Structure 1
């Protein structure tokens, strides 16, 4: 039976509401880890079939020890063929680890709300966003699968390893939206689409590795 580990990178309050949203929407066994607050011990010997790495209020430029430990752990998993989905901070963490440049948004703007991301074949999806950093220069080992006017590298995929990264928040729960995005007015139809597209994106990631 497949098991998926969710790695929360929270530094103050656990993102258990987003984890619970995945529990409610994915018919698969899920595990929870938080190395940013509790260390890497729970991940030692972990035999999960894939990893989903959540966002964080910590930034790549902080260069904390747990950043390094987590990136090295994920690199080992990826090199052994274990898929990893990086979300927001998780997306930036591995992009940085493999040589991309992560910088603050232009004019230090903090992006919040719902963003439409352009994909291949004239398709698009909408995602909740909340970030003040992004990939500015992508390493040659990645392909860019999605982009927007505000972020050139919204969705990336490693050319060799089973890593996909997304700047948005496909995992975002109702609590996440009401708390993190409370100062932004989001139309109900936009919120509904971003919520549905987010779960679809995560399911598509897992499905491509036959994990659902």
Structure 2
């Protein structure tokens, strides 16, 4: 299985000692549930795109400091590539920015949420269980680091999970596209380091609450298994 990682940002140099860049984080996560997967890296935020959707069996799109509605050439090009993936039937999984990109690319609506930043560990409520969502969970915990949210889903979307502060937390479009507004690839240490760097933007109270939440148990491997199942069942 060849997975194309669409890199929409890079970890700050002073934080790379924690878990590397995205091209280290994602393979490290999936090595635990899909050890036979290989990764191809596409630095899309610096203009490196696949020549064709057929280059990989599936694509995973990372988070980013950018917003999907920014008028950046690479973002506009990436939105077009997402639509090509939809039309070709190729599997796409969007994480955080990648989740928002899926919504924005297919005529949904993304903007800054009225609740502000979602940081630290949040509990997700499963609204609908699909076959690939095994092991089955009714509630699960994941790390978040976002201010933008998908406020209006694309037509025909299937809403799968929500959080108290993020109503459209996981959704599916057709048989081949999945968006997750969370970071299963992040470690608690990395999420805390980001919060501490962004105190002025996020706010001291939210950062304190976010850091306190890190005492909760994560379900990152269970969700990684869901992603593996989605990709392997849909490709």
**Match for residue 211 of structure 2?**
185
Structure 2: which 5+ runs fail to align? 13-20, 130-136, 197-206
**Match for residue 99 of structure 1?**
107
1:33 and 1:51 map into 2 onto residues whose CA distance is 10
CA deviations on 1:125-149 (whole Å, 9 max, x unpaired) are: 2111000010112222211111121
Please tell me whether the aligned partners of residues 118 and 146 of structure 2 are also in contact (alpha carbons under 8 angstroms).
Answer: yes
Alignment partner of 1:142 is 2:150:
no
CA deviations on 1:190-211 (whole Å, 9 max, x unpaired) are: 2x4233334233223223336x
Greater CA drift, 131-140 or 12-21: 12-21
Q: 1:153 aligns with which of 168, 179, 183?
A: 168
Please tell me whether the aligned partners of residues 112 and 131 of structure 1 are also in contact (alpha carbons under 8 angstroms).
Answer: yes
Structure 1: which 5+ runs fail to align? none
| TM-score w.r.t. length of structure 2 | 0.77
Alignment partner of 1:131 is 2:146:
yes
1:129 and 1:68 map into 2 onto residues whose CA distance is 25
Give the drift of 1:40. Answer: 3.0
Please tell me whether the aligned partners of residues 128 and 194 of structure 1 are also in contact (alpha carbons under 8 angstroms).
Answer: no
Give the drift of 1:175. Answer: 5.4
Give the drift of 1:186. Answer: 4.4
2:220 and 2:48 map into 1 onto residues whose CA distance is 30
Give the CA RMSD over aligned residues. 2.3
Greater CA drift, 180-189 or 73-82: 180-189
| TM-score w.r.t. length of structure 1 | 0.85
Please tell me whether the aligned partners of residues 17 and 173 of structure 1 are also in contact (alpha carbons under 8 angstroms).
Answer: no
SS of the residue aligned with 2:4?
A: strand
Count of residue pairs brought into register by the alignment: 204
Greater CA drift, 91-100 or 121-130: 121-130
